[in-house]
Amino acid sequence: MEDEDLFDDTFASELPLSSVGGKSQDNTTKFSKVNLSALESLTLPRCTGCQRQFPFPVNLPENHAVISLEESQAVDRTRMAPPPQGTRSGTVKSWNGSVFAAGVKSTRSGQVGSTASNKSNLSVNNHSSSTMTDDIPMFPKAKSMFLHSGNIINWNRLKRKPNQTSTEEVCDCIGNTLASYLETQDKTELQYVTEIYKVNSENVQKIDDTEREEVKITVKVFVCLPLPTSVISETVNKVLNELGTSYIETLLLAVSPGEGEEDDSSAPSVSVIKPYWEAMEELVAAETVLSLGVCDLTKDSLEDLYNWAKVKPSVDQVNLESCCVMPQDLTAYAKAVNVQLLTHNDRPVFIPEETLQETIRSVSTEADGRNWVPQWVVRYSGIVKCRGIIKMKGYIIHARRDHKIILP
């Protein structure tokens, strides 16, 4: 380090007798180029304000405060070390490797360095740069959450993940959309929010009337737990409003296995599907939906639904992860009644509670992620008919939590 970088002549006239150099009439020492060489082997304490190093432990110059030698060395090691995993402050994980300047309160040590009142023996904890911990929730009163990803075809970050599962994809949408919401909200007002509603409006792609006939829209509703049948019209209407259209071509229903079923690969019971199917038939009657489909029905279940329904299913989506080869009896029956068999790779339990909570926690705090339960998820897609190209794709998610058990 150059001499002029180490010492400033502004402070030379104020150096105490304990410093290296000769005594002056006003009981201070004047530094020179000569006596600096005697300090080359010393490890000097550092000013917390300007980060200069000085050869005096007490009687500091005005507007300077020096931490102890041991802490100065610890700080140097901290500044050189790679940052640990960031702690959350507000909505952004951040790490600040610098030491608090004099006069700033440390969030952990609780000490205040004041250049006016504490010029000597100032001790600054080398962890004082830590940001807010995860203990303070950001939206403690929120008990309902609606998130709309917008058209994720326009998200370059998602384009780079072609091998994502659909559950990973929707979690990415939830995290991205929720983080965007939190970054734009006043932190004080968030403490009193009871419903989080966020639409990535910059990504929402409405369908122009001139191109509507060229695009086929398919909507798949994932019912994550037993809900009133009104969920069908609620979800479809949200899609229609967001996309700016009056109808959709195909509506698919996927019902998560109930608690009493053996595992999440179990096919849904037709008795559970029928009430929702009646609500779907009402949308067909209103010409809001043109055709209906169902997911993961076996041959017997599909036959049961087909014989009972007023509006016959036109599609049965089959998950090939639980059925590597399409069953011959299902194939034969579907052909006989003109039901199209399609495949999908969605999990029967589309988004587990733990997965949703961890996703929320990843962009907020530990407390904010607790006790959220997915209610329903809608995935919509628009395909250009004559070209088979996906024009749009997005998710709308609704989750709830019990406000009484947010905190342990």
Paired residues of 246 in beta bridges:
none
Lookup: tokens for 193 = 């929010």
Q: How far is CA 329 from the centre of its chain?
A: 44
Name the token pair of 367: 């407390």
* Continuous segment of H or E residues that includes residue 318: strand 315-319
Give pLDDT tens digits for 130-167: 344 457 999 999 999 999 999 998 776 545 566 789 99
90-94, 240-244, 359-363, 375-379 — which is least confidently predicted?
90-94
In sign, the C-alpha dihedral spanning 29, 34, 37, 38 is: negative
Contact between residue 150 and residue 202 where contact means Cβ atoms under 8 Å apart: yes
b/e code 124-163 from CB counts within 10 Å (16+ = b): bbbebbbeeebeebbbbebbbbbbbbbbbbbbeebeeeee
| pLDDT tens, residue by residue, 33-49 | 444 444 444 445 556 55
Q: What pLDDT, in 10s, does the model give residues 292-311?
A: 999 999 999 999 999 999 99
In which band, very low, low, confident or very high, does the pLDDT at 283 lie, cut at 50, 70 and 90?
A: very high
CB burial of 21-47 (b: ≥16 within 10 Å; e: otherwise) equals beeeeeebbebeeeeeeebeeeebbbb
- Dump pLDDT digits (tens) for 209-237: 888 999 999 999 999 999 999 999 999 99
The CA distances from residue 342 to 71, 132, 315, 329, in Å, are: 66, 50, 7, 15
Confidence of residue 369 (pLDDT cuts 50, 70, 90): very high
